Amino acid sequence: MGRKYAIIGVGHVGATIAFALVTKGDADELILIDKNEKKARAEQLDLQDATARLETRPKIKIQDYSELADTDILFVTAGNIHALDHASGNRWAEFEYTREIVKDIAPKIKESGFHGVLIDTMNPCDAISQYLQKEIGLPGSQVLGTGTFLDTARMQRVVAENFAVDPKNVTGFVYGEHGESQFVAWSTVKVNGLAVKPLAAKKQLDLDKLEAQARSGGWAVHSGKGYTSFAIATCAVKLSRAVFDDAHLMCPCSTYNAKYDSYVGQPGIIGKNGVEEVVTIPLPPEEEAKLAKSAATIKEKFETM
C-alpha cells in the first residue's frame, strides 16, 4: 500500500514539506490544497518537473478535499506569517487569522472522512492543534502539533555550539507552549550522556542566557528572511516518518496533557497511531510550575475560540 500525504497550505512551510517528501521519495501520492489555487497549481507543476530527475514519480494532485478520505498523513500548515512582522516573535499574533482558517477547513476535513494522523504546524501551535482536534472529532492521539519539537532542536543547536559537540549528542526537552512561555527543562538535558548543569558550571556558562538564545532562535530566522521554513518542515516530516515506520520515537510534540487539560509541548511516543503514549518525566518543582503556567496560558487562549 502506498504512502499518501496531503498538505493544506502550501506557503513557505507547506511547500518545503512537499519538496522534502518528493525528493526523499517518501510520498507515493501527495495532495496539495491552498486557498490560492494558482499557487497550488504552480507548486504541483514545479514538483512534477523535478520528478524527471528523481528516482520516484509520485502522483501529485491539488485542491480536492475528497482525496483526504484515504490519506495517511495530513499536514496543516496554513497561516499568515506576516502577522509576526511586528510582533517580536509572539506567535499569538497569528491567532486571529489561524482561528478563522480552522473554522473554514475543519468542516471540510471532517466531511472528507479523513481518519489518518494530522500534524499541525500552524501558530499558535498548541491551541490550534487542540482546536483542530475538537472541530474534526478525531481521537486526540491522531492530532498533534510540532510544538516544542522545533524549540528542542534550537536548544540542541545552542547547547552544542557552546560545548563544541554534535547537536544530536545533546538530549533533553523544551516543554510548554511553542511560544514565549516555553522553557528548557534543564533537569532533562544531557551532553554526551552527562548532565548539563555540572558541565555548564565547570565552563562558567549561564544556562539562562543559553535558554534565551534558543527561545529567540525562530525570531532571528524570521527577522532575516521573513519566515521560517526548513527546520519546522524537517520536524514535521520527521514526525510523519515516525508514524509510517511505527518507530515509537520519543520526542517532544504538542499533545493533550490530562493534568492541565490542555495541549502542550511534552515528550511523547510517536508511532503508527500518532501519539501512542505521553511520557511523564518527573520534573523538579520549579520546572513543573513553569509547565503549569505555560499550559494555563495556552488553555486561556484556547477557551476564547
Going by the annotation, the residues of the binding site are 9-14, 34
Q: Name the nearest CA neighbour of 159 among 207, 198, 195.
A: 207
Which residues, including other chains, have CB under 8 Å from residue 210's CB and lie 6 or more apart? 155, 158, 159, 162, 184, 200
Catalytic one of 115, 178, 222, 248? 178
Q: Hey, CA dihedral for 165, 166, 169, 171, is it positive or negative?
A: positive
Let me know if 115 is a catalytic residue: no
* SS3 call for 81: helix
Please answer whether residues 237 and 21 qualify as being in contact, where contact means their C-beta atoms are separated by less than 8 angstroms: yes
| Crossing angle between the packed helical segments 148-163 and 196-203, to the nearest 10 degrees | 40
Distance, CA of 247 to CA of 237 (rounded, Å)? 13
Q: Which residues make up each annotated binding site for NAD(+)?
A: 9-14, 34
Q: What distance separates the 2 farthest-apart alpha carbons in the chain?
A: 58
Distance, CA of 159 to CA of 230 (rounded, Å)? 20
Torsions phi, psi of 72, nearest 5? Answer: -80, -45
* 272-285 as b/e: b if 16+ CB within 10 A: eebbbebeeeebee
Beta bridge partners, 136, equal: none
Is beta strand 262-271 parallel, antiparallel or unpaired with respect to 249-257?
antiparallel
In the block, cell 473554514 appears at: 104
Q: Where in the sequence numbering do the catalytic residues fall?
A: 178
